[in-house]
Every structure is written in C-alpha cells, then in structure tokens.
Amino acid sequence: MTLTGRTFGHWLLGLALVIGTKIAAAAGLMTPADGSEPPLSIREQHVTVDVEDGYAVTEVEQVFHNPHDRDFEAWYSFPVPRQAAVAEFTVWIDGKPVTGEVLEKQKAREVYEQEKAAGRDAGLMEKDDYRTFDVFVSPVRAGQDTRVRLVYLQPTFVDTGIGRYVYPLEEGGVDEERMAFWTANDKVEQHFTFTMNLRTGYPVEAVRLPKHPQAQVEQLGPQQWRVTLDSRAGAKASAEQGAAVPDEGEDPASPATAFRLDQDVAVYWRHAADLPGSVDLVAYRAAGASRGTFMLSLTPGDDLKPISTGSDWVFVLDISGSMQGKLATLTEGVSQALGKLRPGDRFRIVLFDDRATELTNGYVVVNPENVRHYVKRVQAVGPQGGTNLFDGLKLALRPLDADRPTGIVLVTDGVANVGVTDQKKFLELLETHDIRLFTFVMGNSANRPMLTALTDASKGFAVNVSNSDDIVGQILLATSKVTHQAMNNVKVDIDGVKTADVTPERLGTVYRGRQMVLMGHYWGQGPAEVTLTAEVGGEKRRYKTRFEFPASGGDNPELERLWAYATIEGMQRELNNFGDNADLRNGIVDLGLEYGLVTNHTSMVVVREDMFQQYGIDRANAKRRDIERLAKAQREQQAPVSNRVDGSQPMFKGHRPSMGGGGGGGAFGPLAWLPFLILLLGGWWRQRR
C-alpha cells in the first residue's frame, strides 16, 4: 500500500484501545483439572526478574498446597506475556527439581498421559495460542505441597528514554468458559516476593512502580538498580501501626502476610537525558561454533521535525458482553474525549455487539449541546451480545470525507466471535483504505496477534497497556510519534561480515524515539559497515557507521532463544494471516525442539529422570538452562558495561529523544487518557501531508 501525491488529502487514522479489567483469576492459579474441588492454596510465590540491555529473564517459583484428602491432577495457568518465550518448566519430584524438555505438541501430550496413567509424577506445559500457558501436574499429593518453577524470556525496549517491564497477573476476562471454570484464589497466603534487577549500559535516573508505591527501590550504581516487593515487609509495616505479625516458627498464613494477585506489576525506568543516539551490539557464540547470534539495537538521534493539524473523528465502541465491567470506563473516556474536541471538528459514534449500528446520523458538528446529547446516549448503553468487530470497522470506514483528515478510535478487547472472524478478511478490509492503525492493547486476554497484524498492515504501531501502567506516561511516549515526522520504508544493510536469518525482515515505519532491534546470525568476525536508509518527509536519508563483530564468546546465551522465538513469531503471524501451511508449521516445530521453546505446536513435558532415558528424550533443555544460569552468575559478578559500538563513528547526530524529568504523572484507570488522543492523533495528519 503506497501513499503518495493527492492521496495525502484523505487519510484514515485508527487507534485500537483494548480495554482490560481487574478480574482476579490470578496468574499461577492451580486447581483440580476436573473442577471437582476448590483451587489449591498458593502458599508462596517468588518472582525474580533480570533485565539486561535488550531483554528480560523472569523466574517464577510457586508452592501450592493440596488441602484435600485425595490425590488428583491439577491445572495451572498464567497469561502469556507479550513476546515471551518459556525456557524452563520445572517440577519438584521426590524433593528434587526436574526440568522439562520440549517435544512436538501431540507427542508431549502422549508422554504425559502415559505417565499419568501409570501413576508416576509428571507435568506438561502447553501454549493456548496468545491467551495462556496451561500447565498440568499429576499427581498433586493429598495434604502435601507442590513446587513448580517457570522461566521465560522476552525482549525489552527503551522508548523516548523510558524502559518498561510488566509482570502479568490479571486475567483479561474475555474467555467466558475459562472464567466460569475458575473459582478465583487470588492471594499468596504465606510469602510473596518480587525482585527486579536492572542492569543497563546507560545511566538510569529514576525507577518507579505506578501501582505499587510500597516497593523498595534501590540504586546500586549509575547503571544498576534493584526493585523489591515483599509481603512480609508489608506485614512488618502493618505491625508498626499496631497490626499483629506472626513470630518466627508460627504459621504465617494470616491476613497480615497475604498478598493479592489481582494487579499486574508494572515497572518503569528513565534513562538520563541528553544521551547520544547510538548503535548497540550484543553477540554470543558458543565455544567452537562457527555461527554466532547477534542483537543490534539502533536508537536514532532527535532529527525528526515536529508537525501539527486537526481532523474528523469516528468512535467505534465495543458494547458486547465481554465488555462487562469495562463499559462504564469506556463511556467515561469517550465522554471526556468528546469534550476535548475543538469547535469546527466533527464526530461520529459507531457501536457494535452482534451487529454494528451508528448512534449518530453521519457527522455531527462539535458544540457543547451536541457533545452533551451524545455523551448521555453513550452512557445509557449497556453491554450485551457477541463481538462483531468486522462490521464495526466496516461501518466506521464509510462514509469518509475525502477533503478532511479522519481519525478512527476503536475501543475493544479484540476478541471477535460473531460474523467475520478470519484475520485475513480484516487485513483485506484495511488494504482498501489509506490507514494508520495505532494500537494500545490492554488486557492479558486480548487478541494481540490480530490487532498487531492490523497495526503492521497499516504501518502503525502497537503498545500493550496494563491496568497497572502509568497511562499518562504511556500517552506522553505515544504523543511524540504522531506530532513529529517518521522514518518510512526503513532498511538496514550489514556489509563486511556474513549475516543471515535476520528478524524482523521488514522494519517499515519507525516513529520518533523508538528503537530498532534486529536479531540474526553471523559468521566470521571483523569490521562491518552498517547502513540505515529511510524516507522522511518525502526525502531519502542515509545513516552509516562501522564497527567490529566479535570472533567468539559473549555472556548472553539467551540470545539464541530470543532469536528463535522472534523468528517463530514471524512464522506464526504468516499462519494467522494466510492460513495453514505445513512448511511453516514444521519450521516452528523444528525451532521449538532445537531451542527448547513452548509454541503453538510444541510443548514441554516433565517426567522422572529415569523416564527421560526410557522415552529416548535428550536432556538438551536442561543442559541449555545450565549454560544460561552460569552466564547469569558470571554477569552478576561484573558491573554493567556499555554495548555501544559506534562511538568512534556515530551513526546518528545529536541526542536521542528523551522524556527528561517528565516520565509521566499519576496512574489512571484505562481510557482515562482518551482525551489526550485528540492531540496525539491530530499531529499525524500534518506529518502525512
């Protein structure tokens, strides 16, 4: 889809706001698989997060207690974090931790079922597409504790000087069958801890948790911080105010030490202002290997000019049953947004549940009387029926005034279940229009793959938003994307060193302040010339630098899994967009098996150590985890180092964009930030003209 010449006179700008809710089906809830008994109590949950430049490793260890008088199979579930690759699932068997191995999905299920039928200890982790990781453990012994450990890796990004990590705990509330099954046990009874170790190559000025002000934040050095949440620390604080705290040796299962699991943990960090634009390289090559893996991060300087203008607005509102508990917030946000429109602007309001209808009769001129009238009508709407997202979008796309720029604000959880639900049809619908879709995905059960695909097709960008986020901070980050020029048709070429398997294959449009991260394989060593080309305001720009690729070594073996999972995600998007393809499926299975990753087509199974040998299952993942743990221990012995490689020949001029000291205000509920969209979206029209 190429947009040139007079087509700039008419633009369709979309924003998908995916609304979540605080339904307390806490992450890590273990319950009898047949639903015959209440959930097991969660005695302990300990979360350790290690954030390095470019990625984070999250380790979750939990202890469940079976208070019932019989053994049974238990089901354990937690939300899939964005772009997260599970590297380890461990179950304690006879008091010893046993790490799982990855098999093709059906084979893993068969092994687990055989072990379960034989009465031997076993565990199974499967991925339920974008929704959850589902874990089965059998048997959970009567009156005893069960200990499990999960480890997952995910990329991290710094945007306009702001880094962000979210530990997901909230259920999104869109899977009605699953929610009907759960009887939520949303607290850790004895001890909850969350520890995040932040290590970065650039100075960090501040760290904050918008919804967890009780967290302890320590600066260990200019590039190293630690964040700690401890339920017992909270209990001690309560004791200082007169509340009782159990003594050592007493059963700590009391309200004083219980920690509720109904809210995501969101952590922000802000880099120092006036940092230079830069190119950073992290590489890893195992001893004796001819091929290495690299992560290349490009952070441009602030050379994109500001722009400004205004437009028409179409609000497309999901009023389906899955919006129960969210609609009041939605209508309040829309009410505030309408109140922020300027005289002379116009708006339409489209509603959809099982079908799509228009609340307005064409465009309505913005004035106080019209705004009050339609605010009352929106507030009178109640949630009902299914989600016909396709018809809602289709109605929003007509009629459009070619002489006026138009902004579309789509408010939904993205789970289409009525009418057209095929992702390919959504993409075809967007291809018939000149559109930019900026997606704020909120809610751990939202259909991120489909909304991200729509965003990619429109050359927009997607941001996942949690209820625990600093929403104002998120909007401050997003504002600069549409009030400044963007880099279009971005390409990065590497010459001098052989590289291949680079992901993502296409960078497309890059907005102000956003990092570009490329991963791939390389052979050999020595100097490489890296060239970035882009179109800005109709002009072609070229940025260059030169640096060395290392011959061997590196302390980041996790890069191999991160590359593999990024590649798998690209292949899965192809399957989602264009239908089943045996070669792609087999490719995902092969990568999952080689790198020990849980995917839509591979699963991780745990059996007794002697049974791995009997089934002929190689302990490849256990060995890989040993290498990763050793590397982590070695990194911890050193101060963080800079991975910048273009210092002698900078690729970018000037400082990188930064939020400075204004990293966001207070924490707001979802959609409270919607009034800011008028300013946020309007600027994009100027850029495109």
Confidence (pLDDT) at 175: 43
Q: At 120, phi and psi to the nearest 5?
A: -95, 155
Whole-angstrom Cα distance, residue 309 to residue 625? 53
| Cβ(26)–Cβ(185) below 8 Å | yes
Q: Is the pLDDT of residue 178 over 50?
A: no
Question: 65, 82, 7: which is closest to 446 by C-alpha?
Answer: 82
Confidence (pLDDT) at 4: 34
Tokens matching residue 108: 């893993």
Which span out of 177-186, 386-395, 452-461, 581-590 was modeled with the highest average pLDDT?
581-590
Q: What is the dihedral of CA 305, 308, 314, 317, to 10 degrees?
A: 60
Q: Identify the band that residue 634 occupies on the pLDDT scale cut at 50, 70 and 90.
A: very high
Cis peptide before 504 (omega within 30 of 0): yes
Q: What is the DSSP string of 400-434?
A: --TTS-EEEEEE------SS---HHHHHHHHHTS-
Q: Identify the band that residue 538 occupies on the pLDDT scale cut at 50, 70 and 90.
A: confident
Q: At 493, phi and psi to the nearest 5?
A: -115, 140
Tokens matching residue 554: 């590196």
Q: Is the pLDDT of residue 447 over 70?
A: no
Amino acid identity of 32? P
Confidence (pLDDT) at 33: 72
Q: Identify the band that residue 481 occupies on the pLDDT scale cut at 50, 70 and 90.
A: low
Amino acid identity of 509? T
Q: Is the pLDDT of residue 173 over 90?
A: no
Q: Identify the band that residue 303 occupies on the pLDDT scale cut at 50, 70 and 90.
A: confident
Whole-angstrom Cα distance, residue 442 to residue 425? 23
| pLDDT tens track for 643-663 | 999 999 999 988 998 875 433
Q: Give the mean model confidence (pLDDT) for residues 155-171.
A: 83
3-state SS assignment for residue 338: helix
H or E element at residue 177: helix 176-181
3-state SS assignment for residue 654: coil
pTM over 0.85: no
User: Residue 15: beta bridge partners?
Assistant: 409, 438
Whole-angstrom Cα distance, residue 193 to residue 134? 23
Confidence (pLDDT) at 22: 31
Whole-angstrom Cα distance, residue 67 to residue 124? 22
Q: Give the mean model confidence (pLDDT) for residues 526-548.
A: 94
Q: Identify the band that residue 436 occupies on the pLDDT scale cut at 50, 70 and 90.
A: low
Whole-angstrom Cα distance, residue 442 to residue 166? 12
Q: Is the pLDDT of residue 1 over 50?
A: no
% pLDDT > 90, the chain: 38
Tokens matching residue 476: 């401050």
Confidence (pLDDT) at 453: 73
Kindly report which listed range (132-146, 232-246, 336-350, 662-676) carries the lowest average pLDDT score: 662-676
3-state helix, strand, coil in the chain (%, to 5): 25, 35, 40
Tokens matching residue 310: 């205004």
Confidence (pLDDT) at 687: 39
Q: Is the pLDDT of residue 28 over 70?
A: no
Q: At 678, phi and psi to the nearest 5?
A: -60, -45
| Cβ(659)–Cβ(275) below 8 Å | no
H or E element at residue 442: strand 435-442
| pLDDT tens track for 10-23 | 333 333 333 333 33
User: Residue 141: beta bridge partners?
Assistant: none
H or E element at residue 350: strand 346-352
Kindly report which listed range (137-146, 147-156, 289-298, 450-459) carries the lowest average pLDDT score: 450-459
Residue 426 CA: distances (Å) to CA of 429, 618, 662: 5, 43, 38
Q: Is the pLDDT of residue 3 over 80?
A: no
Tokens matching residue 636: 């911890």
Cβ neighbors of 488 (< 8 A, separation 6 or more) are 459, 508, 509, 534, 535, 536
The whole-chain average pLDDT of the chain stands at 78
Q: At 614, phi and psi to the nearest 5?
A: -65, -35
Residue 166 CA: distances (Å) to CA of 57, 129, 209: 12, 20, 10
H or E element at residue 570: helix 558-578
Whole-angstrom Cα distance, residue 99 to residue 608? 10
Higher pLDDT, 329 or 37: 37
Whole-angstrom Cα distance, residue 123 to residue 147? 12
Residue 654 CA: distances (Å) to CA of 300, 303, 461, 539: 9, 8, 25, 20
| pLDDT tens track for 286-298 | 988 999 999 999 9
Confidence (pLDDT) at 537: 82
Q: Is the pLDDT of residue 683 over 70?
A: no
Question: 465, 368, 365, 486: which is closest to 411 by C-alpha?
Answer: 465
Confidence (pLDDT) at 462: 63
Starting at the edge strand that comes first in sequence, how are the strands of the sheet with 101-104 ordered?
A: 29-32, 72-79, 132-140, 122-128, 602-607, 101-104
- Would you say the C-alpha torsion 255, 256, 258, 264 has a positive or negative sign? positive
Q: Is the pLDDT of residue 558 over 70?
A: yes
Whole-angstrom Cα distance, residue 304 to residue 302? 6
Tokens matching residue 219: 């600066």
Kindly report which listed range (62-76, 177-191, 263-277, 363-377) carries the lowest average pLDDT score: 177-191
Question: 601, 648, 643: which is closest to 223 by C-alpha?
Answer: 643
Q: Identify the band that residue 472 occupies on the pLDDT scale cut at 50, 70 and 90.
A: very low
Q: Is the pLDDT of residue 676 over 70?
A: no
Whole-angstrom Cα distance, residue 531 to residue 546? 9
Strand blocks (E) in 550-661: 602-607
- For strand 508-510 and strand 498-503, is the pairing parallel, antiparallel, or unpaired? unpaired
Burial string for 592-622 (b: 16+ CB within 10 Å, else e) reads: bbebbbbbbbbbbbbbbeebbeeeebeeebb
Kindly report which listed range (45-59, 193-207, 577-591) carries the lowest average pLDDT score: 577-591
| pLDDT tens track for 212-222 | 888 999 999 98
Q: Is the pLDDT of residue 27 over 80?
A: no
Whole-angstrom Cα distance, residue 591 to residue 572? 12
